[in-house]
Amino acid sequence: MDAIDCVIPDKLKSLLGFLFNLLEIYLVIIVATPRAAMAIVPLTVLYAVFQVGAHRDTQPQERLKQHGYVPAESLLPLLRKRDMQKLVSASQIAPVQE
């Protein structure tokens, strides 16, 4: 219940503040140099498309983390160390002390 009463209004206020600041900057640039609109509008659309795509890509990873699955990237250092130990023992070379 605390999230509804406290956190959501703060987040909404921050979001609206950000959007109005962005619109203010866009308006000043477009009034000063109207040709800038030809670049700003397509770049804004392109940025929004990439943000939506990036969000879609991270959703499955976040779901897996919530259920306790470990991402494969976090296991790589352990695998490399284990493989190095196998190589050292197989080649009869003295291991380096860490």
Verify that 14 and 46 share a domain, yes or no.
no
Q: Is the distance from CB of 38 to CB of 29 less than 8 angstroms?
A: no
79 plus 64 within the same structural domain: yes
Closest CA to 98 of 83, 81, 86: 81
Flag whether 28 is in a domain: yes
Domain count, the chain: 2
CB 72 within 8 A of CB 64: no
Residue that wins the pLDDT comparison between 72 and 6 = 6
Report yes or no: 25 and 40 within 8 Å, Cβ to Cβ. Answer: no
The tens digit of pLDDT for each residue in 51-79 reads 887 777 777 767 767 776 655 555 555 55
- Alpha-carbon span 14 to 19, nearest angstrom: 9
Instruction: Based on the fold, state whether residues 87 and 54 are members of the same structural domain.
Output: yes
> Does 98 fall in a domain?
no
The C-alpha atoms of residue 96 and residue 98 are separated, in whole angstroms, by: 6
The parent domain of residue 87 ranges over 38-92
Q: Is residue 97 part of a domain?
A: no
pTM exceeding the 0.85 threshold for the entire prediction: no
Q: Do 4 and 47 belong together in one domain?
A: no
- Are 28 and 45 contained in the same domain? no
Residue 53 placed within a domain: yes
Tokens for 82, please give them: 């284990």
